[in-house]
Chain A
Amino acid sequence: MLADLSTYSLRDFLLFDETIYRGLFGQLNAAFWPMAAVAILLAVALLVFRRRRPGVADRGVAALLATAFAISAALFFFGVYETVNFAAVYPGWGFVLEAGLLLVAVFLLPNTGGSSSAPASASPGRTGVWLAVALVVYALFGHPLAGFAAGRASADLEWFALAPAPTALAALGFLGGWRSRWRFALIVVPVVWLLLDALTLYGLELMPEAVALLVATGFGVIAALVPRRSSFVETAADLGRSGMGDPAEPVRPLRQARRQGHGTRPRSGTTGLLPTTSAQ
């Protein structure tokens, strides 16, 4: 039996054709489109709000993403996808796990400040931040448009919080703006699904969509891996411009903070895990 595996092509593992696969999203959208609309509005609002109160906004993002992953698991994987693919439950449980981890991030991470050794004011830098923002915008709007450009009917487009791919892409984007090293744990499920989805699209011979998804995923991984800068001199200006920190709160150089007896621990109300230096 194992020897037979070498005779299989990727297409042999797909139980459905491209029309039916695309139609799954049509079924989702027809029944649940208001959820996607609300989720997208919330995501945009949080993206804008982040410039003013990044700590609060990031907790809101984690909560929104947790909800989106849970909805996607319930309605896509355990819902429409399972009707044509009995293996859909496996990535479905992956999304449930991700929802759980994000929920933990909402409630526990703000209280575990100091678990990250990165200085509280470290940021991905301007380039990394803009890459993350761009990926979020792509997930919310660009990904559906890319599907339309590739020939999908408008009814069958994939939308954030319903379809798993834009949900995973949005997660990569938001997490790419995080300072905390927890982002590495939280990007695993999204990256795994995006690679599986790209393989599925490749197997269905939907090459433009597969390539677009792979490229976006690559940018998401890069955004997460961009080193967080520990230089305070440049960081303050960057934080102010990027909205990653509170522009009204001056960021003191580490050496100065130590001289003044503040040590290296984040100030009260701040965390080493959420990308903020302001009290919450």
Chain B
Amino acid sequence: MANDTPFPRRTLLKGSAAIALSSLGLPAFAQAPVSSVLKKTVPSSGVELPVVGMGTWITFNVGNNREALAECTAVMKAFFASGGQMIDSSPMYGSSQATVGYGLEQLGKPEGLFPADKVWTSDVSEGAGQIEATRDHWGVDRFGVMQVHNLLGWEGHLDTLQAMKEEGRIGHIGITTSHGRRHGEVAAIMESRPIDFVQLTYNIADREPEERLLPLAKERGIAVIANRPFRRGGLISATQGQPLPGFATEIGAETWPKFLLKFIVSHPSLTVAIPATRSVAHVEENMAAARGPMPDEAMRRKMAAHFDSL
């Protein structure tokens, strides 16, 4: 899949018109020049991040498999070359952290790297030590965001992370959940604690966060990371062989993965989606979804309706 797919003249004109229209406060398809990666801002800090990052759940848990380690390194290389910045991992993901560290050692650390990881222990006293071990795995000095994984021990861990942030040892703090679990508790934390990020499952099939969590994130100035953008490949399998709707060309979504990703990252409250892969072709296709015109709210409704009709 090409990184810089030339867009039809019609799309370029639409993009220019959209930019002009957006300056008038009117709905627009495009939010970025067609050849550059769309970025969104972390509300609490102003840091800009590309709307497509990379997850490492399952795909990077390869142990000492040399062939797979090489594949992961190649994926990271393609990811960085395509403008990617956020890589997300966790101690829960087996050897994924070490795999990321291996890749960074081979490739060098790009300037824009935004390391995102998690603390995952019920024992709050072990949190700092685990974070230090994670830092060793990555070989980085500082994490862009450190999150409490699946809310495990969140009360104590958020205190620890807040202290580390004030010391400048981490950039942002956050919490994570997945599969639509514990949204009530997540909302309560978002309302009561000063977090910078919330990570949750949001995709064209799992749209429940639209009801409360995504609006709440916007209201509270919390950046949102979308995990399971493809439901671990399930959405791609489900759409395989299905024709794309005609309007997909208006947003440059010539494949289902791009269609599915553009739906996610075009939500006004959504900051970054983190698809995971061990395929260079797939990571390039994922990053291509961060380019070109993006659907507005009306188009998003059409996309959701079309998917629901399949």
Q: Which of A14-22, A38-46, A193-201 contacts B (4 or more CB under 8 A)?
A: A14-22
Asked if A256 is an interface residue, CB under 8 A from chain B, the answer is: no
Q: A83 contacts which of B63, B67, B232 (Cβ < 8 Å)?
A: B63
**Residues in chain A near residue B232, CB distance under 8 A:** 11
State in angstroms the CA–CA spacing of A11 and B94 once bound together: 15
Q: Are A80 and B64 in contact (CB under 8 A)?
A: yes
Q: Are B181 and A4 in contact (CB under 8 A)?
A: yes
Asked if A115 is an interface residue, CB under 8 A from chain B, the answer is: no
Residue of A nearest to B64 (CB): A83
Q: Are A4 and B182 in contact (CB under 8 A)?
A: yes
Asked if A90 is an interface residue, CB under 8 A from chain B, the answer is: no
CB of B275, distance to nearest CB on chain A (Å): 15
Residue of A nearest to B91 (CB): A86
Q: Are B93 and A17 in contact (CB under 8 A)?
A: no
Residue of B nearest to A80 (CB): B63
Of the listed residues B59, B61, B232, the one surrounded by the most CB atoms of chain A closer than 10 A to its CB is B61
- List which A1-52 residues lie within 8 A (CB) of chain B: 4, 7-8, 11-12, 14-17, 19-20, 23-24, 27
Q: A27 contacts which of B65, B94, B179, B181 (Cβ < 8 Å)?
A: B65
CB of B70, distance to nearest CB on chain A (Å): 13
State in angstroms the CA–CA spacing of A16 and B61 once bound together: 6
- List which B43-78 residues lie within 8 A (CB) of chain A: 58-59, 61-65, 67-68
State in angstroms the CA–CA spacing of A178 and B190 once bound together: 63
Asked if B95 is an interface residue, CB under 8 A from chain A, the answer is: yes
- The range of chain B's interface size is 10 to 19
Q: Are B61 and A84 in contact (CB under 8 A)?
A: yes
Q: Are B181 and A20 in contact (CB under 8 A)?
A: no
State in angstroms the CA–CA spacing of A155 and B264 once bound together: 41
State in angstroms the CA–CA spacing of A15 and B95 once bound together: 9
CB of B208, distance to nearest CB on chain A (Å): 13
State in angstroms the CA–CA spacing of A86 and B130 once bound together: 15
Q: Are A23 and B58 in contact (CB under 8 A)?
A: no
Q: B58 contacts which of A7, A17, A24 (Cβ < 8 Å)?
A: A17
Chain A proximity mask over B148-182: 1 for CB below 8 Å, otherwise 0: 00000000000000000000000000000001111
Q: Are B94 and A86 in contact (CB under 8 A)?
A: yes
Residue of A nearest to B68 (CB): A20
Asked if A112 is an interface residue, CB under 8 A from chain B, the answer is: no
Residue count of chain A within 8 Å CB distance of chain B? 19
Q: A16 contacts which of B58, B92, B180 (Cβ < 8 Å)?
A: B58
CB of A21, distance to nearest CB on chain B (Å): 10
Residue of A nearest to B67 (CB): A23
Give the 7 A-B residue pairs with the shortest CB-CB distance, closest first.
A83-B63, A84-B63, A15-B94, A23-B65, A84-B94, A16-B61, A4-B181
**Residues in chain A near residue B92, CB distance under 8 A:** 15
Residue of A nearest to B63 (CB): A83
- 24 A-B pairs in the complex with CB atoms less than 8 angstroms apart: A4-B181, A4-B182, A7-B179, A7-B181, A11-B232, A15-B61, A15-B92, A15-B94, A16-B62, A16-B94, A20-B61, A20-B63, A20-B68, A23-B65, A23-B67, A24-B63, A27-B63, A27-B64, A27-B65, A80-B64, A83-B94, A83-B95, A84-B95, A85-B94
Interface residues of B (CB under 8 A from A): 58-59, 61-65, 67-68, 92-95, 179-182, 232
**Residues in chain B near residue A20, CB distance under 8 A:** 61-63, 65, 68
State in angstroms the CA–CA spacing of A27 and B95 once bound together: 16
**Residues in chain B near residue A23, CB distance under 8 A:** 62, 65, 67-68
Residue of A nearest to B66 (CB): A27
State in angstroms the CA–CA spacing of A12 and B181 once bound together: 13
Known contacts A4-B182, A20-B63; is A15 also within 8 Å of B68 by CB? no
CB of A205, distance to nearest CB on chain B (Å): 11
State in angstroms the CA–CA spacing of A7 and B178 once bound together: 11
Residue of B nearest to A16 (CB): B61
State in angstroms the CA–CA spacing of A7 and B228 once bound together: 15
State in angstroms the CA–CA spacing of A83 and B63 once bound together: 5
- List which A164-195 residues lie within 8 A (CB) of chain B: none
State in angstroms the CA–CA spacing of A12 and B231 once bound together: 11
State in angstroms the CA–CA spacing of A80 and B61 once bound together: 12
CB of A20, distance to nearest CB on chain B (Å): 5
Q: Are B68 and A19 in contact (CB under 8 A)?
A: yes
> With A27-B63, A83-B94, A83-B95 given, can you name 12 additional A-B contacts, CB distance below 8 Å?
A7-B180, A7-B181, A8-B179, A14-B58, A15-B94, A16-B61, A16-B62, A17-B59, A20-B68, A23-B65, A84-B63, A86-B94
**Residues in chain B near residue A14, CB distance under 8 A:** 58
Residue of B nearest to A19 (CB): B68
State in angstroms the CA–CA spacing of A80 and B65 once bound together: 9
Residue of B nearest to A8 (CB): B179
Residue of B nearest to A12 (CB): B179
- List which A128-187 residues lie within 8 A (CB) of chain B: none
**Residues in chain B near residue A27, CB distance under 8 A:** 63-65
State in angstroms the CA–CA spacing of A8 and B180 once bound together: 11
Residue of B nearest to A23 (CB): B65
State in angstroms the CA–CA spacing of A15 and B56 once bound together: 11
CB of B235, distance to nearest CB on chain A (Å): 15
State in angstroms the CA–CA spacing of A19 and B65 once bound together: 10
State in angstroms the CA–CA spacing of A107 and B181 once bound together: 54
- List which A65-112 residues lie within 8 A (CB) of chain B: 80, 83-86
Residue of A nearest to B122 (CB): A1
Of the listed residues B65, B68, B92, B93, the one surrounded by the most CB atoms of chain A closer than 10 A to its CB is B65
